[in-house]
Structure 1
């Protein structure tokens, strides 16, 4: 690889852009050509997602699309962003554990506590073993640098919440996949602007985009024989990777005083990271609050998610996903425009807009029903 890099430099081509192009191309192709085989095996072995209480589909659909996404990311990230696996020794091991737990859950449905134990193990590996953790809150609630123990516990909880949050928004076609692409693109562009020291993370973001784009081709398919879901395998994997990239993003703005590492300063960086991941955060907090208010277990399935509310307005899966992603992109734009204001105020604005978006469909539904009643 080093000889190849020297050759490219001699002819005036940056190895980074080659990695970007090939990473995207191969991640897309690997997923694209893997999924038909997975669909065929799923149908033959009846490894299908059955319609349930919170399901928005009415027939059996293969739900092992996450295997293809893992396969693609595992190969392409190891080849084109291999520096990450040198730097973060437990990253690949964490992905493999999530693959195993996700496939088990998609096939036989694991008990919640077993999944939680596995997620704690995975999060502990990456937080303690690879030292990927939230070290500083940049003044949120007056808190700055966190002690090591507090930082580890807070980071593990953050990983677990985001892993499960992405699992919860994976309820309609295109939403989890489309939102993962948007988040990866936003983080990727940010890493690119922050300099070549972060280029491996840019490549990882591009690889995720390529793999998920190919998955969406089948997930959004109108043909019954081509359709597939990512399942818990895919949603947990993407939730984990986006938690990983978001914490790395925050970490860039902490002054480590290391030689060769540029120093950046943005006091509101945690709020920016929250804005990028606002949909799964708000959706999860909202349904938990509703369940607790109704004196139900936070783990009980229901149809109080944002995407369920839009489906109740007779929107299609595609339109629902599009409107949700568009609204939460607006929140990211607001966060970017006001990134230099006080971090607490910006976080409050972001969360207020996030929860407003969660209840806009309810307001529309009530107004529509009142209009019908009056007529």
Structure 2
């Protein structure tokens, strides 16, 4: 664990330190596109944050290769080299898109090429665990097509969710933490060596996101751009493919008794990780809803709009920070809930906790529809928006405002009448408060 913590810290530190100079370089290079109709920020912000993320990835893998235990991954497996090759291609494509813009179909083709390069170097799905049957071996063509599809889906899911400050990096960091917990349990808890690459990929991805988040939280000083969102999406897909298609369920017989029992024991995580639909449930749902919405409206699926989940959270009244935190909450609930359920699927308490937290999440979603007010004794300790508004007390109007017709008016009575009329005039024009 200490070597993983060292790798995490080095990756985060390098990413954090590189982001400042990268921001200055992006400004000097003119990588600051104009505000678009679908953007939520108010002033041009530099992109190319993926340069710092890629630097953190390289630094993390370099340090890990020289460690005693983690370094064995580079000797036993070719997957780290495959990841670095695919990451380099997708990162270069993203840099070109951040600076000059690249057509959507060209980016899709580049994503497929990067996935194909990783497949050629051994990072591919070899078999699928099927409940009740066991592991089903895939042909080379089937494994290649499935691997490429998973990489493209994950990259675009992360790219689509990158619409608010700190949203994509935070959600991917949560997903990477869930991956790390599951993979570390398989490798060191059950001595499954095939889970070692996924464990390394997950901890490096966590460091990349943690190092970039301080610069990207609202209000963001720099955006990761496509060079960053596609990069972290590819690393996340590589971890999912490695732990799903490379870990042989036969090895799990050490702690489950048989191959079929092993598959059944890992169904809560194995089957979801195939797409991967649970760890990235929120961005994947957003991806497919966007495709359906744009196709239904007669638009191209690659045309950007303001219909994403995070845009809808802003429209119903959530603030920028609250919308990001709500997306974090649901991502963490689904990711860590799935990992907890895979560890002990027979526990009723885990299911009850997930249901209770889901109710909390629904309340948070509906928060703008009602404004809770704190009791009077707590007025000084709660934010101003939760305090009760107390209307200022008005003076009672005099019984007689104007003097009777035909009578003389003394200076005192005249002053009283004028003051009363002025108070009524101010009260009539005062804005109504809630």
Aligned pairs for 1:291-302 (under 5 A) are: 291-302=294-305
Distance 1:195 1:37 in 2: 38
1:153 aligned to 2:145?
Answer: yes
Contact 2:30/2:99 (<8 A) preserved:
no
Gap runs ≥5 in structure 2: 66-70, 346-353, 371-433
| Number of aligned residues | 334
1:311 aligned to 2:318?
Answer: no
**Structure 1 residue aligned with 2:427:** none
**Structure 2 residue aligned with 1:64:** 48
Over 3 Å counting, the alpha-carbon distance change for 1:298 and 1:188 in structure 2 is same
Bigger-Rg structure (1/2): 2
- Secondary structure, aligned partner of 1:48: coil
Match of 1:182 among 164, 174, 185: 174
Distance 2:98 2:237 in 1: 22
Distance 2:328 2:225 in 1: 20
Deviation at 1:277, TM superposition (A): 1.4
Superposed CA offset, 1:229-261 (max 9, x none): 111011001100111111222235533569x99
Deviation at 1:70, TM superposition (A): 0.6
**Structure 1 residue aligned with 2:156:** 164
Deviation at 1:221, TM superposition (A): 5.3
Deviation at 1:149, TM superposition (A): 1.7
Aligned pairs for 1:128-143 (under 5 A) are: 128-133=120-125, 135-136=127-128, 138-139=130-131
Distance 2:306 2:135 in 1: 36
Gap runs ≥5 in structure 1: 1-15, 342-349, 369-374
Distance 2:337 2:225 in 1: 32
Superposed CA offset, 1:173-225 (max 9, x none): 11100011101111111111112323453333222222211211011154x7x
Over 3 Å counting, the alpha-carbon distance change for 1:215 and 1:336 in structure 2 is closer
Deviation at 1:320, TM superposition (A): 0.9
- Secondary structure, aligned partner of 2:124: coil
Distance 1:311 1:275 in 2: 24
Contact 1:183/1:277 (<8 A) preserved:
yes
Superposed CA offset, 1:25-76 (max 9, x none): 2112211111111111222232213221321212110111111011011121
**Structure 2 residue aligned with 1:271:** 272
Deviation at 1:317, TM superposition (A): 2.5
**Structure 2 residue aligned with 1:87:** 78
Deviation at 1:92, TM superposition (A): 1.4
Root-mean-square deviation (CA, aligned residues, Å) is 3.3
Over 3 Å counting, the alpha-carbon distance change for 1:68 and 1:298 in structure 2 is same
Deviation at 1:83, TM superposition (A): 4.7
Contact 1:174/1:317 (<8 A) preserved:
no
Contact 2:165/2:217 (<8 A) preserved:
yes
**Structure 2 residue aligned with 1:191:** 183
Contact 1:20/1:206 (<8 A) preserved:
yes
**Structure 2 residue aligned with 1:47:** 31
Contact 1:23/1:76 (<8 A) preserved:
yes
Aligned pairs for 1:16-31 (under 5 A) are: 17=2, 19-31=3-15
Higher relative contact order (CA 8 A, sep 6+): 1
Deviation at 1:134, TM superposition (A): 6.0
Normalised TM-score (structure 2): 0.69
Contact 1:134/1:154 (<8 A) preserved:
no
Match of 2:243 among 222, 245, 249: 249
Over 3 Å counting, the alpha-carbon distance change for 1:257 and 1:26 in structure 2 is closer
Distance 1:123 1:38 in 2: 27
**Structure 1 residue aligned with 2:411:** none
